[in-house]
């Protein structure tokens, strides 16, 4: 046995060895950290404490050790987080909704500081590592495989770097303790591997913002501890199975947005009783919203926009009493940034009362959703409501008494509906950053709204999901919300345009109240838009004669009204904040105030088509003037002292007494034609010439023009115009006509007829008498067609100028004011495959529309008289694509979206080159509600009407798709929708059931004429047949939308599509 002294020496040796060993271990991990640093770039010196002279590595920046002195945590967050949704920036300038469930406070991060380089495989040496957190840096290269061997890892957060890896090849089986896996916004690809199913302790999973594909695996439903799953902005395909939602009791946040998921939203998601956020936007989900959504009693945010959903909005959503944000569709135009699809949701019926009465509702977003009902009048106690967007639907009724008790409502967009009535002065308009009721049927005066106790939009730095969504939408609506002012981004926009408002402009009271609302030390830019009404009175006089010192900038559009009198000469003194003024197409007289030219902030001034007189202030022609102006078509006189280039002449044409510029390009701009300038063209030059469809004067004519005698030049110019018109040949009025917005008629004496309103100049003056005479007083010999809307007549206004006049049945139409409001929105629509609406006339006894005339007849005549085999596949494909493009434009790009309701061959016109033009679009909106919903010959034609429309009398985009499919089957088969040859068949066959039978029996060749099938190619013809049958599917959800139809047609015959 050892003595006590010997035993003591042995213990001392062992203790020394342990201490030495401990020092060796410490030195080993310290050295590994220093080696790890060598592969990392540190431009901001974040790792300055990582050096050999600093002995205690557990105190180094970002390093944490456990009780045994081993490295257990590496936490180094960079400041490269602007693109990620996991951070909430202080000013919300780069907000994103992605990374939604993993919101963190980034205020502690070092903004602009980050690490770069690569992550060394030495990371695998830290065997006791529990936390690896390096988000928002710029680390690149391959993700080290050694990470997946660190069996103690509980948290991996590498979001916001540029690391690459094939996710399919990663083996997660060793990570049994993993609770958080965040690899979002890197460069991962592949699919989710089965090995991830071993990580059953996961509570947060984020793979957002990568290039991961494949299906969403069912085994994720086995993660009973999972609270957050974010797979947004990837390439996941397939449907979401019921298994995924089988064990979702603790699931709180789901984000599958920005993928290619399809199928129906599963009913089983109703099992997720603790779900607070569900983001499914920007996928290809179809079908109806499940009724089981009502089981999600704590749901706060629901976004299903940018899908292909249809059907009724379930009333059960009213059970979600915590719901604050509901997004059913989206009108933001930034989807291309992530390759997201445009919104295709098209719901039926109304917005349920159970939803508008939700007690916590803050934001509801459903623009262009095909809602068709009375405007919702009950919105709970309205105290929480912040943002409402129901623009571009078919809502009617009035809003008086609806939002007056909503003190926190800062955004209200109900434009492009059919809302009528007057505005209540109690409405909190001065409090709203955006108030848009444009393109409706409102009337009465624009009130001087009372000053309410306004609350301010204050998102502070709260990180809850609802606040982030409100912040995001508030920012996006300012950036993308108003196309006409997108160049300027005013902080506040109030839009009353394109209604039937009368009376004077309540300008200054509105400005004073807006200014009093924003007492924060910062002056704002404010836009007041009221063009396209019947406002009268003078401009900048009376209650408008004060100043706008409370604003930084003021934008005013009062074009296309009946303003008169002179512009106040003090405008340049009192309105120094003026940045934009469009008062064109009024009856303003007197001189242009000289002080306007001295306004330093003024960038756009449109005064064309008025009755201004006198000389143009010379200040507008100096090189220092920043103003883009248009003074054309007035009574201005004098001469231009400082001659600049000819572009200025285009801004002042149509002033007969103005020297030098009165004869510029007379042949391309007749005196009655205004310069086509609108607020929507401000991103290009205001003075751009959009004519170009006619040739200019020849050399001889130009010699005459420069003769220094005003009388001789004027006579010569008149002769030139006269001869030019006389020698014109009859041509279809399809292109080359410059757009002009309609001018509202001035008040007429009692008994005098209202004038004919012209949208497009055609080179000759159109009046009621000339049009009626050209039709032979609507005699049958000039009738070229008739239908449910009325009869169409050929009218030769003058030699070589032919138009088509559609005489409407007055008894079926709305009253004249409503008719005027509706038709003016149609008059602004322009597309290469839509028939051009030139003008209209409307009175209580007579209503007719004037269109461009096409000599090629209609498609019905083409099908009857020209065999498909003779015309050839390329021509048939071109016609089909032209019509599809027209419907796609009406459904997806018009604001508001337009349903045709009567697509059929007789409403498709052709020119001599087989270009197809869709006619009668939007006419259903002109009819009385009774006629629209009850009369089948008005709202559709038997054989072309979709099954669901025939049963419910509710139109939708998919009903137009069905009618298009019938037309396509007719086009390729030379048969009518209800062809006589079907009478020998049983069960009353139509072309749809007949073609479907032949397709199912494997006899597709019998659908086509023999010559067409033999000419082939057969695979292209089969695809056309499949497309026609898909468009005419009984199930609404199975039918494609017109965007998908256009894409498919271009894929079927790409060479032909590129020629079109």
Residues 974 and 1009 sit within 8 Å (Cβ to Cβ): yes
- Phi and psi for 32 in degrees, rounded to 5? -65, -35
Report the C-alpha gap between 146 and 78 in whole angstroms.
23
What SS3 class is residue 899?
Answer: coil
Report the C-alpha gap between 186 and 189 in whole angstroms.
9
HSE, CB side, 13 Å, CA atoms: give it for residue 421.
Answer: 16
* CA dist list (Å): 381 to 359, 405, 811, 995: 7, 8, 42, 55
Query: Quick check: is 902 catalytic?
Result: yes
Q: Which two tokens stand for residue 681?
A: 């063209």
Q: How many residues does the chain have?
A: 1060
Quick one: 400 exposed, middle or buried, by C-beta within 10 A (0-12, 13-18, 19+)? Answer: middle
For 187-276, strand residue ranges (E) read 187-191, 204-206, 211-215, 228-230, 235-238, 253-255, 260-264
Angle (CA) 319 322 323, round 5°: 80
Q: Specify the pairing of strand 418-421 against strand 635-638.
A: unpaired
For 875-922, strand residue ranges (E) read 908-910, 916-918
Residues 63 and 77 sit within 8 Å (Cβ to Cβ): no
What SS3 class is residue 27?
Answer: helix
Q: Which two tokens stand for residue 598?
A: 């001295």
Residues 337 and 83 sit within 8 Å (Cβ to Cβ): no
Contacts of 730 (CB under 8 A, 6+ apart): 796, 800, 801, 802, 855
Tokens 């629509």 -> residue = 829
H helical segments located in 815-956:
816-827, 859-865, 868-871, 873-888, 929-934, 947-952
Q: Which two tokens stand for residue 761?
A: 């100049």
Q: Which two tokens stand for residue 1029?
A: 């049958």
Q: Which two tokens stand for residue 163?
A: 């690391």
HSE, CB side, 13 Å, CA atoms: give it for residue 487.
Answer: 13
Contacts of 604 (CB under 8 A, 6+ apart): 579, 580, 581, 582, 627, 628, 629, 682, 686
Angle (CA) 809 812 818, round 5°: 105
Give which of 1015, 1027, 1022 is closest to 873, Cα–Cα: 1015
User: Among 331, 902, 920, 974, which one carries the catalytic annotation?
Assistant: 902
Bond preceding residue 1017 cis, omega within 30 of 0:
yes
Residues 436 and 391 sit within 8 Å (Cβ to Cβ): yes
Give which of 562, 543, 587, 556 is closest to 500, Cα–Cα: 562
Give which of 948, 92, 956, 37 is closest to 471, Cα–Cα: 92
Residues 894 and 368 sit within 8 Å (Cβ to Cβ): no
Rounded to an integer, what is the distance from CA 384 to the centroid of its chain? 26
R_g (Cα) of the chain, nearest Å: 35
Annotated binding residue at 806? yes
Q: Which residues pair with 842 in a beta bridge?
A: 847
* CA dist list (Å): 526 to 91, 343, 570: 20, 30, 21
Q: Which residues pair with 657 in a beta bridge?
A: 637
The helix (H) or strand (E) run that includes residue 420 is: strand 418-421
Bond preceding residue 619 cis, omega within 30 of 0:
no
Residue positions annotated with a catalytic role: 902
Q: Annotated binding site for ATP, which residues? A: 806
Q: Annotated binding site, which residues? A: 806
């Amino acid at each position: 046995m050892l003595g006590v002294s010997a035993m003591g020496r042995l213990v001392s040796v062992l203790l020394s060895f342990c201490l030495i060993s401990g020092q060796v271990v410490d030195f080993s991990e310290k050295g590994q950290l220093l080696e790890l640093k060598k592969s990392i770039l540190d431009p901001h010196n974040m790792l300055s404490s990582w050096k050999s002279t600093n002995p205690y590595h557990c105190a180094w920046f970002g390093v944490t050790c456990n009780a045994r002195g081993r490295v257990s945590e590496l936490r180094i967050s960079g400041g490269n987080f602007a693109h990620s949704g996991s951070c909430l920036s202080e000013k919300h300038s780069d907000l994103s909704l992605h990374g939604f469930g993993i919101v963190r406070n980034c205020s502690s991060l070092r903004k602009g500081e980050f690490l770069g380089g690569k992550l060394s495989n030495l990371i695998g040496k830290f065997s006791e590592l529990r936390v690896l957190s390096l988000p928002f840096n710029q680390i690149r290269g391959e993700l080290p495989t050694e990470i997946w061997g660190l069996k103690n890892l509980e948290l991996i957060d590498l979001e916001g770097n540029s690391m690459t890896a094939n996710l399919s090849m990663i083996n997660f089986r060793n990570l049994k303790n993993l609770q958080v896996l965040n690899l979002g916004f890197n460069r991962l690809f592949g699919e989710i591997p089965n090995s991830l199913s071993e990580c059953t302790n996961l509570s947060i999973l984020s793979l957002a913002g990568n290039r991961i594909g494949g299906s969403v695996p069912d085994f994720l439903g086995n993660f009973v501890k999972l609270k957050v799953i974010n797979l947004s902005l990837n390439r996941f395909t397939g449907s979401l199975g019921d298994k995924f939602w089988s064990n979702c009791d603790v699931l709180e946040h789901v984000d599958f947005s920005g993928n290619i998921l399809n199928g129906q939203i599963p009913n089983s998601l109703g099992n997720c009783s603790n779900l607070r956020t569900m983001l499914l936007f920007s996928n290809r989900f179809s079908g109806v919203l499940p009724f089981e959504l009502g089981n999600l009693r704590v749901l706060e945010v629901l976004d299903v926009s940018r899908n292909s959903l249809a059907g009724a909005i379930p009333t059960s959503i009213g059970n979600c009493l915590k719901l604050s944000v509901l997004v059913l569709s989206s009108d933001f135009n930034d989807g291309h940034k992530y390759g997201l699809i445009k919104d295709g949701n098209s719901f039926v019926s109304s917005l349920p009362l159970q939803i508008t009465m939700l007690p916590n509702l803050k934001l509801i977003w459903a623009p262009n959703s095909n809602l068709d009902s009375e405007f919702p009048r009950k919105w709970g106690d309205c105290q929480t409501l912040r943002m409402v967007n129901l623009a571009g639907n078919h809502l009617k009724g009035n809003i008086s008494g609806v939002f007056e008790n909503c003190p926190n409502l800062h955004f209200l967009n109900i434009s492009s509906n059919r809302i009528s009535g007057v505005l209540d002065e109690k409405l909190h308009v001065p409090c709203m950053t955006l108030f848009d009721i444009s393109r409706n049927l409102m009337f009465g005066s624009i009130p001087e709204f009372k000053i309410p106790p306004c609350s301010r939009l204050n998102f502070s730095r709260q990180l809850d999901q609802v606040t982030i969504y409100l912040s995001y939408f508030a920012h996006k609506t300012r950036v993308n919300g108003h196309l006409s002012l997108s160049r300027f981004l005013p902080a506040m926009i109030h839009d009353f345009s394109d209604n039937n408002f009368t009376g004077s402009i309540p300008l200054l009271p509105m400005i004073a109240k807006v200014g009093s609302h924003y007492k924060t030390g910062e002056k704002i830019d404010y836009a007041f838009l009221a063009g396209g009404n019947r406002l009268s009175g003078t401009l900048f006089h009376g209650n408008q004669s004060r100043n706008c010192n409370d604003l930084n900038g003021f934008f005013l559009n009062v074009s296309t009204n009946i303003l008169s009198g002179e512009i106040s000469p003090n405008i340049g003194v009192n309105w120094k904040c003026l940045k934009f003024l469009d008062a064109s197409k009024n009856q303003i007289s007197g001189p242009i105030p000289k002080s306007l030219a001295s306004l330093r902030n003024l960038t756009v001034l449109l005064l064309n088509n008025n009755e201004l007189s006198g000389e143009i202030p010379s200040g507008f022609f100096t090189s220092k003037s920043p103003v883009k102006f248009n003074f054309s078509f007035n009574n201005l006189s004098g001469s231009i002292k400082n001659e600049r280039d000819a572009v200025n002449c285009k801004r002042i044409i149509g002033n007969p007494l103005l020297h030098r510029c009165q004869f510029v390009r007379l042949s391309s701009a007749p005196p009655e034609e205004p310069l086509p300038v609108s607020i929507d063209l401000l991103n290009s030059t205001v003075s751009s010439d959009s004519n170009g469809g006619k040739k200019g004067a020849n050399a001889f004519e130009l010699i005459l023009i420069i003769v220094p005698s005003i009388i001789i030049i004027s006579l010569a110019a008149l002769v030139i115009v006269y001869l030019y018109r006389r020698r014109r040949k009859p041509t279809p009025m399809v292109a080359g006509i410059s757009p002009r917005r309609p001018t509202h008629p001035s008040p007429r004496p009692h008994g005098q007829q209202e004038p004919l309103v012209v949208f497009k100049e055609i080179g000759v003056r159109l009046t009621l008498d000339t049009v009626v005479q050209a039709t032979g007083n609507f005699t049958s010999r000039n009738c070229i067609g008739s239908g449910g809307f009325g009869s169409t007549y050929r009218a030769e206004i003058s030699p070589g100028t032919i138009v088509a006049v559609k005489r409407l049945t007055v008894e079926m139409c709305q009253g004249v004011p409503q008719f005027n409001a509706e038709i003016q929105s149609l008059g602004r629509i322009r597309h290469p495959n839509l028939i051009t609406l030139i003008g209209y006339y409307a009175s209580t006894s007579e209503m007719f529309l004037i269109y461009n005339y096409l000599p090629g007849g209609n498609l019905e005549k083409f099908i009857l008289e020209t065999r498909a085999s003779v015309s050839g596949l390329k021509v048939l494909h071109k016609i089909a694509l032209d019509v599809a493009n027209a419907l796609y434009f009406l459904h997806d790009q018009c604001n508001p979206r337009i349903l045709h309701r009567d697509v059929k061959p007789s409403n498709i016109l052709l020119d001599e080159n087989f270009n197809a033009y869709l006619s009668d679009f939007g006419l259903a909106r002109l009819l009385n509600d009774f006629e629209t919903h009850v009369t089948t010959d008005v709202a559709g034609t038997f054989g072309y009407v979709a099954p669901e429309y025939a049963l419910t009398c509710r139109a939708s985009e998919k009903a137009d798709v069905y009618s298009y499919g019938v037309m396509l089957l007719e086009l390729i088969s030379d048969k009518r929708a209800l062809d006589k040859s079907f009478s020998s068949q049983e069960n009353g066959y139509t072309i749809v059931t007949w073609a479907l039978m032949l397709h199912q029996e494997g006899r597709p060749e019998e659908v086509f004429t023999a010559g067409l099938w033999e000419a082939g190619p057969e695979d292209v013809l089969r695809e056309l047949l499949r497309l026609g049958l898909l468009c005419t599917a009984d199930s609404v959800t199975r039918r494609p939308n017109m965007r998908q139809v256009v894409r498919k047609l271009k894929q079927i015959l790409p060479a032909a599509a590129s020629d079109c």
